[in-house]
Structure 1
Amino acid sequence: MALCFLLFFSCSTQKQPLVSSLKYDILFGNDYGGASFQFYEIITEQDEFTILLTDDMIKPYVKKDDIEKNNFILINLGEKKSKGYTIKIQKIEERSDKIILTIKEIEPKGNVVQTTTNPCFVLKVKSKKPIEINGLP
């Protein structure tokens, strides 16, 4: 069953963002298993996280207590006409009140298999601050 629910800090008085070395991991990425439409979901609470723990494709990459110190983001790129679509984390900013994450969808290059796919990804952000995402609808 496809999972259909689906990362800093500034010391300046001007609240200028600081490009951070905040840790994140792309836990999972697959050409199949995502939704037919593009969306993302920020997972911050245990009840939302339980969905990841029960998904056969994702559960090998997460532990039950991971949600206590981390946030997760489920990204679905929607229906695509070929394999090879992926994401790139372009920039992460940590502010005193939130994390701003800029994500870009990367199209495949060269010869690719022409088949309908539904790429999906799960990111683990090693922070509990609220997350704002740019670059995705």
Structure 2
Amino acid sequence: MVDDYDYAILGLAHTLTILKEFEAAIKLYNSLIANEPENPRAYNGRANVYRLMNDFDQALLDVYKALELDPNYGTAFATFAEINAHKNNLNEFYLNFENAIRLNKESIEYSLKEEDVYKPFFKDDRFLKIIDKYNLSVE
């Protein structure tokens, strides 16, 4: 079970990621994983850091582990979609993007505004159909 300390470390690691302090963030995620190896949020957070570092192979390993630990973890599906967008695996992108919305619509609403990875899709018909299906906006 994740305790308050682990939540605080997750928050700090996320902040370091936003600040592009990737090595420091990875160290915190590694510490969390060592302390709480069944924590899908730690694996997903580290996957996101690796994605931002363009280390897509390592990012995929971590997102697979996050989804193994929690197959209904919508934010991990969003990370999976973002990795596939970077790799130009469009079918996988759309599949995982829709899973992310279905499981955690609020997270995707935030990401659509904050993550540049989605912007190239804003005029794509397939993307817009998914957005419409779930009553989201890309403005």
- Please tell me the TM-score bracket, short chain as reference: under 0.3
Indicate the structure with greater helix content. Answer: 2
Of structures 1 and 2, the one scoring higher in RCO (CA 8 A, sep 6+) is 1
Q: Which has the larger strand fraction?
A: 1
Under a length normalisation based on structure 2, what TM-score does the superposition of the two structures give? 0.24
State TM-score, norm by structure 1: 0.24
